[in-house]
């Protein structure tokens, strides 16, 4: 079984329901799941949209990285995600943050997530789950990455 960290975010429809349904569906292939608290945050990238709810999930899966990505895309579709435009509104968005200590780069998947170290709405939930987990590229803990994050703080509140 492979240790994985996922980020979940939603800003369209019933955001909390979309996150909770996604977690329920993810548990079909991800076991021993631990969840971070949910945070409300401002949109990053395309800013003229509703606030997001964000959380992170830690669990274990037998799926390979690409199998996990395909499974995640199916979960997003079941929850009702509609493809719009880059950084646009989303019913649900699920990203693979870490897969063990794997460094993986392909056209359709990059692990660790290439921008996680820039986003407090990703780092804070990760910190809640495992503050001493070390980023395999930067060789810094999640706690240290959050301390050094230069991004304008987007988190509004913990839900």
| pLDDT, tens digit, 9 for 90 and up, residues 139-155 | 999 999 998 887 657 77
d(CA 133, CA 140): 8
DSSP run (H or E) holding 64: none
Q: What is the pLDDT along the chain (159 residues), one digit of tens a residue?
A: 999 999 999 999 999 999 999 999 999 999 999 999 999 988 876 667 789 999 999 999 999 999 999 999 999 999 987 887 666 688 999 999 999 999 999 999 999 999 899 888 999 999 999 999 999 999 999 999 998 887 657 777 788
Give the pLDDT of residue 148.
87
Q: 10-34: per-residue pLDDT in tens?
A: 999 999 999 999 999 999 999 999 9
What are 16's two structure tokens? Answer: 């909390």
Q: Which domains does the chain have, with CATH numbers?
A: 2-158 (3.30.70.560)
């Amino acid at each position: 079984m492979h240790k994985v960290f996922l980020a979940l975010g939603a800003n369209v429809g019933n955001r909390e329901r979309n996150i909770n349904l996604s977690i329920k569906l993810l548990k079909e292939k991800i076991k021993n799941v631990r969840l971070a608290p949910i945070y409300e945050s401002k949109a990053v990238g395309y800013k003229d949209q509703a606030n997001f709810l964000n959380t992170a999930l830690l669990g274990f899966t037998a799926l390979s990285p690409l199998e996990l990505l395909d499974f995640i895309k199916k979960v997003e579709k079941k929850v009702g995600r509609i493809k719009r435009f880059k950084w646009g509104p989303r019913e649900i968005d699920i990203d693979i943050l870490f897969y063990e200590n794997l460094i993986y780069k392909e056209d359709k998947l990059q692990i660790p997530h290439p921008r996680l170290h820039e986003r407090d709405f990703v780092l804070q939930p990760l910190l809640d789950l495992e503050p001493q987990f070390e980023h395999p590229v930067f060789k810094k803990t999640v706690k240290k990455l959050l301390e050094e994050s230069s991004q304008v703080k987007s988190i509004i509140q913990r839900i």
